[in-house]
Amino acid sequence: MTFTTRERAQGWLSDELRLIEYSEWTPPAERRRRTEQRAITFDEFTREWIDKRLVRGRPLKDRSKEHYLDIHERWFAPFHDLPLTAITTADVERWFHSRPDAPTMRTHAYSLLKAIFRTAVARKLVKESPVNVEGATSRAVPKEINLLTVAQVQELADAMRPQHRLMVLLAAWCSLRFGELTGLRRRDIHLSDDLTEGTITVEQAAVTVAGERLLTTPKSLAGHRTIYLPPHLLEDVRQHLATYTRSDPDALVFPGTDGRPLTPGQVYGHAPRFDKKGNQKHPGNGFYKARHQIGRPDFRFHDLRHFAATMAAISGATTKELMQFAGHSDIQVAMRYQEAVNDRKKDLAKRMAALAVVVEPHTDS
């Protein structure tokens, strides 16, 4: 450290001696670092965190970055201009309890905030995390899903536009996500010459980022997988490829109207519309029309994956096999299907017992 004049050097030395006298001295470099830390706002740190975040050594996917930035801008606004070091537990508690009544989104935002401050603690930017609201991250009870029957799945598929019919069947019997279906290429599907077996390899998925439909890698490492096609779908797959998919190996199996991956809106369409008297004004189209036709207007496209996982569990799949089949990285999700199947087996046993007729042994009078 150098000084331009003797007076400045003596002044600096006097300040350092005063700190020593009051037992407050720390190395000048440490003091500069603390000053810089106090100057970092939550907004600056969070944007850098999102941009450089790694998950299992991999950068965040573009869709995840967009989602986190959206949460930051809409949910974390009260913290934006505050220095990172100034945010207290009381601040976080007030923020959490003042958020809109959207439990799932609020819990998601809280978990993101917790992860951001976990990094701040690891970098020694703050001594401890202020994100500690009791009960904020308790696991929600999974929504009860009223699955379709096998016959209803077939009816739903048949009610779709012909070019989208196979999407329902693959989602229901191969547990493919919407983005995985719309990202499938012809070369990802392999059918044997005698049409006795076939596979689907999931290597990419379609996502929407900043309003644009893009192809990227699957949601997680577990999403990369090869699925054996159930034999009863082989002919449906062959016919679809022959009718709706170009011969180019990179051609999308389910192309959108502009040659790009299908958007949810192009598949979902809209539900039938009725006037105040209950008369139908418009028949609707797409998936929303199809689910209305089978009497299940509450059913979601993603619920077809639940159907697939439940069928696999009923068929005896182990937890590991379920995870591989559905591309799950969370063992708790796979175990949930097995527990549901066990509950159904117990209920079946009780119903069978109710059908039993107790015959009194015959005795001579």
User: Looking at the domain assignment, is residue 20 inside a domain?
Assistant: no
User: Looking at the domain assignment, is residue 242 inside a domain?
Assistant: yes
Please indicate whether residue 63 is annotated as part of the active site: no
| Judgement on whether residues 115 and 161 belong to the same structural domain of the protein | no
| Judgement on whether residues 81 and 175 belong to the same structural domain of the protein | no
Residue 211: per-residue pLDDT = 82
Please indicate whether residue 336 is annotated as part of the active site: no
| Judgement on whether residues 133 and 176 belong to the same structural domain of the protein | no
| Judgement on whether residues 172 and 316 belong to the same structural domain of the protein | yes
What lies within 8 Å, CB to CB, of 275 at 6+ separation is 281
Q: Which residue matches tokens 């007729």?
A: 357
| Judgement on whether residues 93 and 170 belong to the same structural domain of the protein | no
For the beta carbon of residue 51, count every other beta carbon within 10 angstroms: 12
| Judgement on whether residues 63 and 120 belong to the same structural domain of the protein | yes
Q: CATH number of the domain that 60 lies in?
A: 1.10.150.130
Residue 198 forms beta bridges with which residues?
191
User: Looking at the domain assignment, is residue 334 inside a domain?
Assistant: no
Residues with pLDDT less than 70, the chain: 1, 31-38, 138-143, 329-365
| Judgement on whether residues 172 and 317 belong to the same structural domain of the protein | yes
User: Looking at the domain assignment, is residue 202 inside a domain?
Assistant: yes
User: Residues 253, 236: contact at Cβ < 8 Å?
Assistant: no
CA distance 224 to 237: 21
Please indicate whether residue 305 is annotated as part of the active site: yes
**Among residues 72, 213, 328, 336, which one is catalytic?**
328
CA distance 252 to 244: 9
Reported pTM: 0.71
Q: CATH number of the domain that 181 lies in?
A: 1.10.443
- Structural domain count of the chain: 2
| Judgement on whether residues 75 and 112 belong to the same structural domain of the protein | yes
| Judgement on whether residues 175 and 318 belong to the same structural domain of the protein | yes
Mark out the alpha helices in 76-126 (DSSP H runs).
Answer: 89-97, 103-122
pLDDT tens by residue, 49-67:
999 998 878 888 888 899 9
User: Looking at the domain assignment, is residue 37 inside a domain?
Assistant: yes
| Judgement on whether residues 118 and 177 belong to the same structural domain of the protein | no
**Among residues 8, 123, 190, 302, which one is catalytic?**
302
What lies within 8 Å, CB to CB, of 286 at 6+ separation is 160, 161, 164, 266, 267, 268, 269, 270
User: Residues 289, 299: contact at Cβ < 8 Å?
Assistant: no
**Among residues 213, 305, 306, 336, which one is catalytic?**
305
| Judgement on whether residues 171 and 135 belong to the same structural domain of the protein | no
Please indicate whether residue 337 is annotated as part of the active site: yes
Domain of residue 99 covers 33-140
User: Looking at the domain assignment, is residue 236 inside a domain?
Assistant: yes
Coil vs helix vs strand at 140:
coil
| Judgement on whether residues 131 and 200 belong to the same structural domain of the protein | no
User: Looking at the domain assignment, is residue 302 inside a domain?
Assistant: yes
Please indicate whether residue 306 is annotated as part of the active site: no
**Among residues 72, 164, 177, 225, which one is catalytic?**
177
Distance (Å) of CA 49 to CA 36, 68, 92, 216, 306: 17, 10, 19, 22, 34
